[in-house]
Structures are given as structure tokens and as C-alpha cells.
């Protein structure tokens, strides 16, 4: 007989659309638990994230009652995590403990005293042991890949182990990767055959499955397979009645058996994450390497030595994510003694918007918008004033300016541009715009995953080949720099809008990413750079001060070359803009009910205006997402000598 622990992890990120919650509830969360109720001998360990629990509590109270009933019957074991589903390794220790405490308190409302943690995205760091123990946790669940990365063989991974850090010890259960690819995608018989093959007479042996609950109905093709074709009922029926399989919960296992011994796990996540977290060029090589090993039939033999990146690489890969994360850390330290403000910063730690893999993540503007909303609300409880500091730890100082209604952050070393303009009244960051970048899967159609398809069952999202549609490929463009407000361009007078928006033009000056000198003003800043345009001396000076409803900036541009000067503002406009636009105006009014609301850009003279949507191509569980991250507004003036103009940004 072999012990078997079956677990699911249900999560919806904070800020996701209500219809997504509703659809996932109807296609997965509700039918799964209703079928579980029909099989009283079936046991499930379940983790439900805080954002989803809050939604269920408010919208589906009957479901909460069902969970409470299943707990009382001994069919459900509640496994917790950080309430707002943070990656614990990415937040301060004090916040880790508070996040876990919040979810433990909710579990108690369901009648369960939770002692186990589902590790969000299975991102492990050894120093987590202390935080988990301080939060009253006895065991944690990670992937078998973590153990293999520590040098253990697959045959040694059918038991939990202890791991230690600084004298604190916790039990660690390995999730069986093979089960992750069998369940629920292959016929039930395949899982039973595998579990039976593990039976060698050792009564302490345990196989663990614990994975996304959305695989049971939300992932493409799974609703028909799992429910309409009866996979889940057959699975519950056969597993719970099989005399060679002993269904257990984590807590039951630990009451009966001791972990096998002591291991030391390296910083790790699951195998797919080690591909996704690599910079794009390296991720492409990683996939090629894995495929070569498979071609030669050597992947399984050597895969324990195949390691890619770690989760925190995403902060290197996406500077926008890094800046958002470091602002969250900054505010976390400021509001730790303020319970109201701290609640907002705990929400801002929800993991999804900080990274990207098979799901949209950082590419989904509505998820980033929610993170920024909570950072800004938390920051508004404390007046930080103005200061100069390296906020995002990139080795270059930022200038932070706070007024009654705004936070403004400039990067003098990077084009003297405005990289955050956050409104306290609207709780939006006007510059929450993700740059367009090449991802390795734009060229590599397959992911580096170990699954073995045999044509039976339903394909997992890792197995679905995807080709970029031609109409999207024609519009693909990649930025060589992050997008900000007040970015300074020098262009040839022959440059057209299409060349500009598709990044097929030549930047004639060294101002876009060059370093600016600066000096503070009362409620503002003056930035200037002496550089060159087409080999001739040039100078840009911009003097900005915050106003009650935005900012006013005075530009002085001097150029020895006859060129076009453009001041670009990238705004987090999410109302769909399909076509680029070119016109002349003294004012631009923006009306964006889905993002930043209404704003106006006013000039003291008529200018040519280029306006176009900034669209990124990312993969998702459904295929390709060609998403508008924002809209670029560039005001253009001919300059041959000296140019002066004033621009006003007004929040309406």
C-alpha cells in the first residue's frame, strides 16, 4: 500500500475582473467541492488564497458553508500561505508573519487550526524557516525539483524531510512532478498505475500531488474533460476505494510518521519557473538545451543538474516590476506601525503582477494598477516629503518629490525623465506603462517542460503549441528603453509616425537615456543636459514644479542641428486605442475610464502630436495576449537654434 496526499491550490489575484472570479467559481471551485461532498472517503488538502476567500465570503456564502462542512467531516485540511498570496521570499519578515497570521485566522473561522503552508509559486529560500516557525507553521510544501536541486535522487523523494536554518527546523513535503502532469490531464488509470508502481512494502512512503485547482475546469479543455466526461468523479471514486492506496492529509501523515531525515534545499522554485525567470536570450538557450537532452534521451538522467534562473530574476528582467517592488518595500518600512496603512501594503504584495510565466502576470495592466493603487493608498498615510535616494537599488539616485496630491519620482541618470507620477486622489500611477520587449517564446514555440504526451486525455497549457498570428507580427515592436513621462527625443524631420511607433527610427541625440544634472526647486526640480545632436552641441533644460492638479514644465532646447524635438509622455491609458493618430493641437484631452481617468495636456503654442498605443505580446494559458499597456503622446517642434515652450499636465 502507498500513502497518497491529494491537494489543490485555488487563487485569483487581487484586482482581477469580477467575471473571471465568477467564471472560475462556476467552472472549477464550486463543482469540485460539490463532487467532493459526494465521496465521503475522499480527502483533500486545500489552499485558497485571501483575495479569493474575500470574494467568496462576500459573493458565495454558501460555498464558505460547504468548506466549513467538509472540514468538520474530516475531508478537508486547510493549508495556508500569505493572505494576499505574496511570494514570501520577496517581502520583509515582519510582513510574512502578519500575512500568514491573517490567513490562519480565516482558517479558524472555517473550523481549522492550520499548521501547513502552501509556498506561493514554491519560491523557497532557506531563511524562510525562521519566519514560518515564528508564524506557528509545522510543515511546508514545495516541489520535488527543490530536493533534486539539492542532490537527492527521484527514488528518495517519497517522504517528507526536515530542513533547518539558524537552529529552527520545519518539515518539508515534496510534490511529485509526474503526478502534476498526469492529474487531471491523463486518464485516471494512468495515475492509478503510477501510484501502484510505488508500492514496495514501505508503509511510510507517500506520493504528493498539490497543484492549481484551476486545472480542474478553468484551463483550456479541462471543464469538458474533468466534469462533462466525468474524470473527477471517476478519480475520486477509484482513488478513495482502492485498497492499495491509503488517502491521507499532511497532518495525518506527520501524526503517524516522522520525516525521513535532514536536507538543505537551495533557493529554488518549480522547473518551469527556472526557464521563465531567465533573461529572454538565456531562456531561449535553456529551452534549446533541454530539447537537445530530450532528443538524445538523456534529459531524465541529467535533469537534476539542469537549473535556470531564480524567481527574483524577474526584478532584473522587468525594471518596471523591480521599481514597483522596491516602492512597496519602501512604504512597508514606513507604515509598519499604522494598521490601516499596513493593510494596503499587504495587499500590494500580491505576487502575480510582479512576474510572468505562462500566465499574464506583469503584462496585465489591471493587476499592476491594483498594486499601485494599494502602494499609493498606504504611502498617503505618511508624509515623506522630498529626498534623493536610490529607491530601486540600481546604483543611481532618484529624486522623490511629494506634494499634497502627488508623488513624483525622477531618474536624472536616465534621461532626466519622470518615472512615477502617482495621484493620491485617484490612487493611480500615471506612468504605470510596461515597455515592449522581446520574449524568448516569440521565437521558441515550446516550453522546456518534462511532460510526455501520448495523445490520451487533454493537453496541459504547457503542451499547447502556439504560432503568432500574422496581423500581430506586423505590429510587433521592441523598445530599447523603459517608458516614462518627459522623455526627450531628437529626430530627423523626415521621420514619420509609423517609423517612430514601431521603433524603426534613429535617435539623433544622446538625451533619451543620457544622464542629466539637476537641482531642486520648491515643489519641483530643474534638470539639464549638455550633449550632442548629429555631432553638434545641444542642450535641454526642463524645469518642473508640481501643482495642485498636476505639473507645469518649462522647456528650453538648443540645437546646432536642424531637427525635430519631441517631448514624450507615456500614460497608463487602458481604454482601447486601435490606430495611431497624428494631428496639430495646443491641448490634448485624455478620457480613460478604465485606467487613469481624465487628464489634459496643454501647450503654450501649437505643436504636432503623435499618439499611438503601446502594445506588448505575451503568452497566456489561452494563447497570445496583444495587450495595450498605455498610450504614447509626443509633442513635436522643429528646432534650429533655440526653442522654448511650456507644457502643463492637468488632472481632471
Give CA torsion, residues 240, 245, 246, 251, to 10 deg. Answer: -90
**3-state class (DSSP) for residue 410:** strand
Triad 329, 333, 335: Cα angle to 5° = 115
Interval 11-59: pLDDT, tens: 999 999 999 999 999 999 999 999 999 999 999 999 999 999 999 999 9
431-441 in b/e burial notation, b at 16+ Cβ within 10 A?
bbbbbbbebbb
For the domain with range 461-651, which CATH number is right: 3.40.50.300, 2.40.50.140, 2.70.98.10, 2.60.40.10? 2.70.98.10
Q: How far apart are CA 110 and CA 356, in angstroms?
A: 32
Interval 120-137: pLDDT, tens: 999 999 999 999 999 999
Interval 205-264: pLDDT, tens: 999 999 999 999 999 899 999 999 999 999 999 999 999 999 999 999 999 999 999 999
Task: Decide: residue 466, CB within 10 A, 0-12 exposed, 13-18 middle, 19+ buried.
Answer: middle
Q: Is 121 a known active-site residue?
A: yes
DSSP class of residue 435 equals: P
Are 21 and 12 in contact by the 8 Å Cβ rule? The answer is yes
The verdict on domain 2-269 having CATH code 3.20.110.20 is yes
Task: Give the mean pLDDT of 334-344.
Answer: 97
- Could you tell me the pTM of the whole model? 0.95
Cα 364 to the center of its chain, rounded Å: 9
Task: Give the mean pLDDT of 463-467.
Answer: 61
Task: Decide: residue 37, CB within 10 A, 0-12 exposed, 13-18 middle, 19+ buried.
Answer: middle
DSSP class of residue 423 equals: E
Are 120 and 138 in contact by the 8 Å Cβ rule? The answer is no
Task: Give the mean pLDDT of 127-154.
Answer: 95
Q: Which of 300, 288, 307, 293 is nearest to 446 (CA)?
A: 288
Instruction: Tell me: cis bond preceding 61? Omega within 30 of 0 counts.
Output: no
**3-state class (DSSP) for residue 63:** helix
Are 582 and 499 in contact by the 8 Å Cβ rule? The answer is no
Q: How many Cβ atoms sit within 10 Å of the Cβ of residue 104?
A: 20
Task: Give the mean pLDDT of 643-650.
Answer: 97
pLDDT grade, residue 594 (50/70/90)?
Answer: confident
Taking 70 as the threshold, does the pLDDT of residue 547 lie above it? Answer: yes
Interval 267-299: pLDDT, tens: 999 999 999 999 999 999 999 999 999 999 999
Torsion angles phi and psi, residue 293, rounded to 5: -60, -40
- Among residues 95, 98, 121, 420, the one annotated as catalytic is 121
The answer for residues whose C-beta is within 8 angstroms of residue 190's C-beta and 6 or more apart is 182, 456, 457
DSSP class of residue 598 equals: E
**3-state class (DSSP) for residue 116:** strand
Taking 80 as the threshold, does the pLDDT of residue 149 lie above it? Answer: yes
Q: Which of 412, 402, 397 is nearest to 542 (CA)?
A: 412
One-character DSSP codes across 226-281: IIIS-HHHHHHHHHHH-TTEEEE-HHHHHHH-----EE-PPSB--HHHHHHTS-HH
Strand partners, 389: 398
Task: Give the mean pLDDT of 458-470.
Answer: 66
Q: Which of 343, 359, 364 is nearest to 11 (CA)?
A: 359
Q: Is 625 a known active-site residue?
A: no
Task: Decide: residue 479, CB within 10 A, 0-12 exposed, 13-18 middle, 19+ buried.
Answer: middle
Q: How many Cβ atoms sit within 10 Å of the Cβ of residue 292?
A: 11
Triad 546, 547, 552: Cα angle to 5° = 65
Taking 70 as the threshold, does the pLDDT of residue 318 lie above it? Answer: yes
Cα 156 to the center of its chain, rounded Å: 33
Pairing verdict, β 2-10 and 44-48 = parallel
Taking 70 as the threshold, does the pLDDT of residue 449 lie above it? Answer: no
| Residue ranges in 257-356 assigned as alpha helix (H) | 271-276, 280-295, 299-302, 314-317, 319-334, 339-347
Q: How many Cβ atoms sit within 10 Å of the Cβ of residue 304?
A: 16
Q: How far apart are CA 267 and CA 263, in angstroms?
A: 13
The answer for residues whose C-beta is within 8 angstroms of residue 300's C-beta and 6 or more apart is 450
Interval 165-196: pLDDT, tens: 999 999 999 999 999 999 999 999 999 999 99
**3-state class (DSSP) for residue 501:** helix
Cα 59 to the center of its chain, rounded Å: 25
Distances in Å between the Cα of 424 and the Cα atoms of 8, 349, 549, 651 are 39, 19, 11, 11
- Predicted pLDDT at 303: 85
Q: How many Cβ atoms sit within 10 Å of the Cβ of residue 60?
A: 16
Pairing verdict, β 581-592 and 550-571 = unpaired
Torsion angles phi and psi, residue 32, rounded to 5: -60, -50
Task: Give the mean pLDDT of 80-109.
Answer: 98
Q: How far apart are CA 305 and CA 357, in angstroms?
A: 22
The answer for residues whose C-beta is within 8 angstroms of residue 473's C-beta and 6 or more apart is none
Are 47 and 29 in contact by the 8 Å Cβ rule? The answer is no
Containing H/E element for 571?
strand 550-571
Each domain of the chain, given as residue ranges in start order, spans: 2-269, 270-313, 461-651
Task: Give the mean pLDDT of 527-535.
Answer: 97
Torsion angles phi and psi, residue 161, rounded to 5: -130, 165
In percent, the amount of the chain with pLDDT more than 90 equals 91
- Among residues 212, 242, 499, 510, the one annotated as catalytic is 212
Taking 80 as the threshold, does the pLDDT of residue 590 lie above it? Answer: yes
Q: 2-269 and 461-651: same fold?
A: no
Amino acid at each position: 500500500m502507498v500513502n497518497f496526499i491529494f491537494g489543490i491550490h485555488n487563487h485569483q489575484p487581487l484586482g482581477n475582473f469580477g467575471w473571471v472570479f465568477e467564471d472560475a467559481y462556476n467552472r472549477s471551485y464550486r463543482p469540485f467541492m460539490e463532487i467532493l461532498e459526494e465521496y465521503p472517503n475522499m480527502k483533500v488538502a486545500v489552499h485558497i488564497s485571501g483575495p479569493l476567500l474575500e470574494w467568496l465570503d462576500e459573493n458565495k456564502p454558501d460555498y464558505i458553508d460547504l468548506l466549513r462542512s467538509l472540514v468538520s467531516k474530516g475531508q478537508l485540511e486547510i493549508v495556508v500561505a500569505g493572505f494576499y498570496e505574496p511570494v514570501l521570499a520577496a517581502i520583509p519578515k515582519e510582513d510574512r508573519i502578519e500575512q500568514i497570521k491573517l490567513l490562519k485566522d480565516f482558517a479558524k473561522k472555517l473550523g481549522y487550526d492550520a499548521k501547513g503552508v502552501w509556498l506561493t509559486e514554491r519560491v523557497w529560500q532557506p531563511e524562510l524557516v525562521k519566519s514560518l516557525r515564528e508564524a506557528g507553521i509545522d510543515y511546508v510544501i514545495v516541489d520535488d525539483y527543490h530536493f533534486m536541486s539539492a542532490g537527492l535522487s527521484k527514488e528518495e523523494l517519497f517522504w517528507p524531510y526536515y530542513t533547518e536554518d539558524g537552529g529552527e527546523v520545519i518539515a518539508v513535503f515534496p510534490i511529485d512532478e509526474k503526478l502534476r502532469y498526469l492529474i487531471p490531464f491523463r486518464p485516471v488509470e494512468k495515475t492509478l498505475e503510477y501510484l501502484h508502481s510505488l508500492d514496495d512494502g514501505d508503509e511510510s512512503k507517500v506520493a504528493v500531488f498539490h497543484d492549481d485547482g484551476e486545472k480542474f475546469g478553468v484551463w483550456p479543455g479541462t471543464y469538458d474533460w474533468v466534469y462533462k466526461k466525468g474524470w473527477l468523479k471517476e478519480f475520486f471514486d477509484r482513488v478513495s476505494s482502492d485498497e492499495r492506496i491509503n488517502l491521507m492529509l499532511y497532518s495525518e501523515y506527520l501524526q503517524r510518521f516522522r520525516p525521513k531525515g535532514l536536507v538543505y534545499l537551495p533557493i529554488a522554485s518549480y522547473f518551469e519557473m527556472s526557464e521563465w525567470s531567465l533573461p529572454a536570450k538565456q531562456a531561449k538557450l535553456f529551452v534549446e538545451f533541454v530539447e537537445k537532452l530530450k532528443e538524445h534521451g538523456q534529459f531524465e538522467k541529467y535533469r537534476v543538474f539542469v537549473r535556470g534562473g531564480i524567481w527574483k530574476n524577474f526584478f532584473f528582467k522587468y525594471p518596471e516590476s523591480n521599481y514597483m517592488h522596491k516602492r512597496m518595500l519602501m512604504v512597508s518600512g514606513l507604515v509598519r506601525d499604522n494598521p490601516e496603512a499596513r493593510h494596503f501594503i499587504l495587499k500590494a504584495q500580491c505576487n502575480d503582477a510582479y512576474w510572468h510565466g505562462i500566465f499574464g502576470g506583469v503584462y496585465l495592466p489591471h493587476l499592476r494598477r491594483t498594486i499601485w493603487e494599494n502602494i499609493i493608498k498606504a504611502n498617503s498615510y505618511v508624509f515623506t516629503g522630498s529626498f534623493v535616494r536610490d529607491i530601486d537599488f540600481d546604483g543611481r539616485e532618484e529624486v522623490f518629490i511629494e506634494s499634497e496630491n502627488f508623488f513624483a519620482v525622477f531618474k536624472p541618470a536616465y534621461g532626466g525623465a519622470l518615472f512615477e507620477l502617482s495621484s493620491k486622489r485617484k490612487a493611480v500611477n500615471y506612468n504605470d506603462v510596461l515597455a515592449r520587449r522581446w520574449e524568448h517564446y516569440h521565437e521558441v514555440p515550446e516550453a522546456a517542460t518534462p511532460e510526455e504526451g501520448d495523445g490520451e486525455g487533454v493537453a496541459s497549457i504547457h503542451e499547447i503549441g502556439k504560432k503568432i498570428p500574422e496581423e500581430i507580427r506586423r505590429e510587433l515592436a521592441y523598445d530599447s528603453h523603459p517608458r516614462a513621462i518627459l522623455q526627450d527625443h531628437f529626430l530627423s524631420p523626415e521621420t514619420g509616425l509609423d517609423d517612430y511607433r514601431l521603433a524603426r527610427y534613429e535617435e539623433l541625440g544622446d538625451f533619451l537615456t543620457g544622464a542629466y544634472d539637476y537641482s531642486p526647486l520648491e515643489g519641483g526640480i530643474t534638470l539639464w543636459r549638455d550633449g550632442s545632436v548629429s555631432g553638434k552641441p545641444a542642450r535641454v533644460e526642463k524645469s518642473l514644479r508640481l501643482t495642485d492638479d498636476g505639473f507645469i514644465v518649462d522647456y528650453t532646447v538648443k540645437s546646432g542641428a536642424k531637427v525635430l524635438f519631441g517631448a514624450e509622455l507615456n500614460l497608463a491609458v487602458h481604454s482601447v486605442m486601435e490606430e495611431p493618430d497624428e494631428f496639430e493641437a495646443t491641448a490634448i484631452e485624455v478620457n480613460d475610464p478604465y485606467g487613469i481617468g481624465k487628464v489634459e495636456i496643454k501647450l503654450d503654442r501649437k505643436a504636432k502630436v503623435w499618439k499611438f498605443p503601446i502594445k506588448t505580446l505575451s503568452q497566456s494559458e489561452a494563447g497570445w495576449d496583444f495587450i495595450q499597456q498605455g498610450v504614447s503622446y509626443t509633442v513635436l517642434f522643429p528646432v534650429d537654434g533655440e526653442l522654448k515652450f511650456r507644457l502643463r499636465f492637468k488632472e481632471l
